[in-house]
Structure formats: structure tokens, C-alpha cells
A and B are shown apart, each in its own frame.
Chain A
Amino acid sequence: MTDLDAFRLETRAWLEANCPPGMRAPVRGEQDQCWGGRNFQFSSDDQRIWLERMAARGWTAPDWPCEYGGGGLSQAEHKVLREEMSRIQARPPLSSFGVWMIGPAILKFGSEPLKRQHLPPIVRGEIRWCQGYSEPGAGSDLAGLQTRAEDRGDHFIVNGQKVWTSYADQADWMFCLVRTDPDARKQLGISLVLFDMTTPGVSTRPIKLISGNSPFCETFLDDVCVEKDQVVGEINQGWTIAKYLLTHEREMIGGMGRTGAGQRTLPEFAVEAIGLDNGRLADGMLRAEVARWALDAKAFELTAERVRDEAKTGQGVGHASAMVKYYGTELNKRRQELMLALRGSDALVWEGAASHEGALPRMWLRSKANSIEGGTSEIQLNVIARNILALQ
């Protein structure tokens, strides 16, 4: 038996013994996700226990070094863990911008004290992070951001406004792009700073979206004091980190096109909604569209696999994140439109318990943001054309 096989057996046994029954079911919506943080209300004891047990092993951030609370797993072990979790339909124990975004950035660019301060609480799900990037005047042209950080010796005073801050009203800390040198060329005067959302001068206001939900906020920063030791990387070098984080974000959002563990595939959803006639989906036009989607979805999944394999051997074109973001989000929007069509008028019920308060149409509307957030589809196509195809 190889070490990896042994690891698989141990992992399987541990998951069997420790994953609570209530956590072995597909995530149906927001309410089933555990975001952690100071203000988080667990939806069940199972959810709380599952987070605690996984965090104790560092498996909420499986590939982070053990010294910062992570699992210390190799890529191959991490893959085994994912496979074994998906085998029993185990839910992710923690959904976290800390794990997905700022954690990796701190690991890569942060000072040793920053790592020790911020990484372990992220792993334990104690601190929930939000991202301060976009501004009213800086959307696709993110580097044009105007939030100012004035140097006051040992600290900065930050003034400005952020928008589309995911869950800012529930977050504990923000990682935020600010302008530290107003005279430099726009990409060169930006820094990435961290601050507690309870700092005086920070206020948030939820934005109600077409889905009826408010996952995003406006965040106002009025004379917010930020200590200088809370700058990630060098002062005025924030754009490099921002691009690194955008790459992460693009791959993450692009990944939404993939069918998650335990989630029903679109063909399964279609068969349930429409039924079969002689082994074929009973509606020929829908069948053709579902098939086209399923072909593209499988091709996309295999491309993610190939990109990972190429990265391991040092091959590949780079810039894959723009393609993954563009294709994955368009794919997810197509899936949501097809789900709507497959369920007909049932999919448009907005209120009431039978429709889980309109879960399906709200998810469909939420997906429209996928090709906007983290850089629009058009920006991704610009990046591909300019950086890969040398068209300019």
C-alpha cells in the first residue's frame, strides 16, 4: 500500500466517524453554508461540531502549513480529502473569503507577525473577512480607485467609499485596496491594508439586489485609523497582490460552473423535471440544449483538471484564470436559464414554503452577477486578447 492509499483509508475512517449525519447532504442554499465569524449563528449543532472538528485538524485550510493552523496536506493528499468528502456528500465545513482569498495572499506576501496574527483565526472560522475592492467610480477600471490613505507616521487615516463588498455587514475584518501615493501612476500608488470592521469610522449599508437578497454592501470609510503593520507586502505594491487575488477570485467564481459534490447534475435535474421517453429526455428541444450544456460542462471540468496537471509539471500558457472565469461563469448562467426552462412556471414561484421561498429563481438571478463580479466577461476577453493573443 502506498502512503497515499494509507492516507485515504485513514481519512475515510475519520470522516465516517466525525462527519455528523446532518452535514452529509447537498448544500441547498445560503442557509446551509457556514461562514463563521464573531456574529455567525449556526443553523444546527451538527454545523458547529463539523466546523470545530475539521478546524482542529486544519482541514478547513487543508493545504496551508501546520504552523499557521493549516492541514499541511500535499496536493495529492488534498485531492484525496476532496474525493473522500464528496464520496459521503460531506458539506464544506467553512465558506470563507479568509481561506479562499486573503489567507493565501498573506501566506505569499505577508510578514511573519501578520501570518501569526491572522491565519489561525481564519482556519478556526473565528474571523470572517470581506473584500474592499470596487468603488462607485472604479469597477472594471479597478486601478482607478480613489479611497485615500494618508500617512500619519505609525498609522494611516483612510477616507473613501467601497461598493459591492460581499457580506460587509456580517464581516469582522476587511482587506482593502487604498491609494497611498496619489502622485504615482495609478497602478503604482496602491496598497493592501487590513482593518477591523468595528474600527471607528467604518459603516456599511446593504444593497438590495434583483434577487431580493442583499449579499453586497456599500462601505463608508470616514477617518478610519489603520496601523502600518497591517499593510500586506510593501507600501505602494498593493496592485501586484490585488492582481494575485483577482486571479484566485476568477478561478473561484469560474468554478461555480462546476457541479459541486452531492449536487444534482443538470441532466439529472432535467430527467426529474421532464421525464424520459424511450430512454431519451421527453422534450427534444430541451434535450438538445441540456446535451450541449452537459458537453461543455464536462469539457470545462476536464480543462480545469488539465490546467492543474500542467501547472504541476510547469507547463501551460498561464493566464488560464481569465479563460476559466469567462467560460465558467457563462456556463453557470446557461445552467440557471436551463433549470428555469425545465421547471417552467414552477421555477418562477417567488414566495412560499413549497418553493423554498423562491430559491430557484433567486439563484438564477444571483448567477447574473457571476459574469460581472471579479472582472466582467468582457474584461476577461480583453485580457485573453491582449496578454495571450497579442492583439492590441
Chain B
Amino acid sequence: MPALVLNEEQQMLKDAAQRFFRENAPVAQLRALRDNRDETGFSAELWRNMAEMGFAGTLIPEAFGGSGFGHVGMGQLSEEAGRNLSASPLFSSSILSAVTLLLAGSGEQKQATLPAIASGKLVVALAIDEKPRHHPWSINTTAQNLDAGFVINGHKSFVVDGHVADRLIVAARTNIGSQDSDGISLFLIDPATQGVKVERTIMADSRNAATVRLDHVRVGEEALLGQLNEAHAVLESVLDMGNAQLAAELLGLSLEAFERTVRFLQERKQFGVVIGSFQGLQHRAAHMFSELELLKSVVLKALVALDEEAVDASALVSLAKAKACEVAELVTNEMIQMHGGIGMTDEFDAGLFIKRARVVQQLLGDYRYHADRFARLHGF
């Protein structure tokens, strides 16, 4: 196993990402998108710039127009985007959908999508969840095999960037009557197809997700992505890769929320002294520091394990996501409490941090989901 430190290339990418997101997509940008009720929920110009920087193709191999920088590399982008609450289709398209296509797509499907994803011109969204709490195998959407094609019926929710997606990847039950993770297949669908209804849902974090209704949607056999009935293994990997990036995003978000809070403790005066001189606050800040040190380690370890294709990668990803959810919840709650009244005002950014944190926590499974999965993977 490589050491738990960034190599030179990864450190350079992190430095570049740090500058880029701070200058081009600060928290103020998210606030403006929200206040202007932007139709897409992200800046098209920012996304073009991110693609030019090569960010959109970080997980895509060079053969398909990407940079093949791997999970540790992409993790640095997620972390820095998390610090600035930067809104973009990076997660939906360049992470979740790109790795699904990489793992399941035929040569033709990959050629048709991956270079366009890497250049930022094609946005693809992954539609799995059907229930409010993440449960990837609780799938009632069906795809019936009919006349050299499929008819898809069902309903998907919390589809990140679904309303701006040029293509949707939909998980559906193809072996009708199968249970749990068996008998599921993936389909690559144009949302313009008759019977597909995509509706934007504005979430608490001012970003967006969509509900997707599929009503007798007819697709040809070429829409099938990967083996019929065998999507389970692909989805497990995709969800691991996605969750590792969400953990990295939560790490960046939590570090920023924490650092802003510590600065406030150093400056805010009450009773004639800075409130950071009070031990009651010092100890809580020092505890958060310790938790953040643990979070840094588990996030990096999960990303390294994915790059190395380690056998315990799934357990390490659930460890990272569970810990990230726990720490982000702690730090964003303390951010508001320690700022006092000002933390409750919309004008101040604490609200934007806590709202984004909760959405990312729920996305693809919260602390409880991943603690349970970690325990199962460890035989208890």
C-alpha cells in the first residue's frame, strides 16, 4: 500500500484546484445562483472552465479524452469544491455517470459518451434511488423485454442534476419478481424519449435534484448498459466510488466550516475578551480538530484503496462516508452555535454550509447506512 500522503502530481492538482475553486466558484456564487433562482442551479461558464482545466475528465482514461488521474486526484477536486460549496455537474456526470459507463459500457457506448463527458459537453445523471432513504436495491422500476427492446415503468427520486442531464442512466428490475440486488439492469436513456418526465426538485442546499417518471418508455436493446440482470456488482463499485468522493466533499466542507469558526473565536469579543479564551469553547474546538484529523485519514485511505483496487475498499469507503457524515454534522452544528445569533441569519454563510452538508450526508447513504454496511462487511 502506498503511503498516506499525496504524491507530487496529486499535490499539484490539489493546489491548482484550491486556487481555481476559490477564485472561480466561491460560496458567493452559490448564493447568487440561489437568489437569482437560476434555472440550472450552476454556472455554465464555471462548468466550461472546469472542463478546460481537465477536471471533468479526471476519472476518465486518456484513451477516452480524460486525464486518468484516479480517485485520489478527483478527491482533491471534491474536497476543494466542498470548501467553496461550488455547484457543478462534477459529481453527477464526471464521477457517478463516468464510472458507470466505464465499468458497464460497451466500447461503442463508451466512445459515444466518455469523451463528451470529459469535455463537459455531455451531462449524464444516474437514477437509482426510489425511496427517501438511500436503499439501492429497493427497486420497483421495471424494464420488460419486448420486441427487441425494453419498456420501462417506474419512478426515481433524488436524481442529482437530473433536470439538466442530456442522458439518464436508470437502474431497473429486468428479472421481474427477483429480490433485492438480483435481476437489476442499467439503461442509458435520452430524457427526450416519449414517456420520460423529469421534474426539478429544489433542495435545501439550493442545488438541485430531480424526480424522474418513466411511463411506458420504449428503448432499443442498444440502451442496455452492461449485462442483463447483472448490474449489482457494477453498482456496488459505482456507489463506492461516489461515496468516497462525497466523503471528500464533506471533508472540504467541514474543514472550511471549522476554520471559519476558529477565526470567529479568535476575533469575537464578549466580557471584554475574545471568546476563544473560554475553555468551554476551546475544548469543543480541540475535539473538532481531532475528529477532523481522523476524517482526513479515512478519506485519503478510501481514495487510495479505490485506486489500488484493494479487497477491503468497500469497507474503507463506508468508514470514510460514515465518519464524514458524523463529523460534518458535528462541525456545521457547532458552526452555528459558536457564532450565536449571526449564525442563524441568512446573510451569513453558516446556513449554506449546514444545508449542503445534510444533503451530501443523505446522498447515497448517511452515517447509519454506512455504519451498518461497515459492520456487515466486518462480519457483525
Contacts and interface: CB of A to CB of B under 8 A. Distances in A.
A299 B371 contact: no
B33 interface: no
A294 interface: yes
Nearest to A313: B5
Nearest to A386: B282
A116 B232 CA distance: 65
B63 to A, nearest CB: 32
A303 B380 contact: no
B300 interface: yes
Contact of A326 (B277, B281, B290, B296): B290
A305 B4 contact: yes
Q: Is the interface of B mostly helix, strand, loop or mixed?
A: helix
Q: How large is the interface on B (under 10, 10 to 19, 20 to 34, 35 or more residues)?
A: 35 or more
A292 B371 contact: yes
Contacts of A38: none
A391 B282 contact: yes
Interface in B231-290: 262, 265-266, 276-277, 279, 281-283, 285-287, 289-290
A299 B5 contact: no
B50 interface: no
Nearest to B375: A291
B279 to A, nearest CB: 7
B352 to A, nearest CB: 23
A309 interface: yes
Interface residues of A, number: 43
A294 B5 contact: no
Contacts of A281: 375, 380
A306 B277 CA distance: 31
A267 B265 contact: no
Given A280-B376, A287-B375, A302 B285 contact: no
B4 A309 contact: yes
A168 B4 CA distance: 40
Interface string A308-334: 011011010000100100110000000
Contacts of B85: none
Nearest to B282: A385
B282 A327 contact: no
B3 interface: yes
Nearest to A299: B294
B287 to A, nearest CB: 7
Contacts of A270: 380
Given A305-B297, A391-B266, A294 B286 contact: no
A385 B4 contact: no
A116 to B, nearest CB: 36
Contacts of A291: 371-372, 374-375, 380
Interface stretch (A103-111, A128-136, A346-354, A376-384): A376-384
A88 interface: no
B283 A381 contact: yes
A392 interface: yes
Contacts of A305: 4, 297
B285 A310 contact: no
A369 interface: no
Given A390-B266, A391-B266, A299 B374 contact: no
Interface in A259-306: 267, 270-271, 276, 279-281, 287-288, 290-292, 294-296, 298-300, 302-303, 305-306
Given A295-B374, A392-B276, A323 B289 contact: yes
B322 interface: yes
B282 A382 contact: yes
Interface in B195-222: none
A385 B297 contact: no
B285 A385 contact: yes
A218 B286 CA distance: 33
Given A290-B380, A306-B297, A378 B283 contact: yes
A62 B151 CA distance: 68
A113 B298 CA distance: 45
B323 interface: yes
A303 B290 CA distance: 10
Nearest to B275: A391
A303 B294 contact: yes
B238 to A, nearest CB: 23
A17 interface: no
B376 A279 contact: yes
A295 B319 contact: yes
A303 B282 contact: no
Given A327-B290, A385-B282, A267 B296 contact: no
Contacts of A298: 298, 319
B39 interface: no
Contacts of B374: 291, 294-295
B4 A384 contact: no
A174 B286 CA distance: 34
Contacts of B371: 288, 291-292, 295
B379 interface: yes
B45 to A, nearest CB: 35
B277 A294 contact: no
A301 to B, nearest CB: 9
A298 B283 CA distance: 23
Most chain A Cβ neighbours within 10 Å, of B5, B290, B319: B290
Contacts of B301: 302, 306
Contact of B319 (A280, A299, A392): A299
Interface of B: 3-5, 262, 265-266, 276-277, 279, 281-283, 285-287, 289-290, 293-298, 300-301, 319, 322-323, 371-372, 374-376, 378-380
Interface of A: 267, 270-271, 276, 279-281, 287-288, 290-292, 294-296, 298-300, 302-303, 305-306, 309-310, 312-313, 315, 320, 323, 326-327, 378, 380-382, 384-386, 388-392
13 contacts: A276-B380, A290-B375, A291-B374, A294-B374, A295-B323, A296-B323, A313-B5, A326-B290, A382-B282, A388-B286, A389-B285, A391-B276, A391-B282
The 6 closest A-B pairs by CB, nearest first: A385-B282, A384-B286, A391-B276, A381-B286, A306-B4, A309-B3
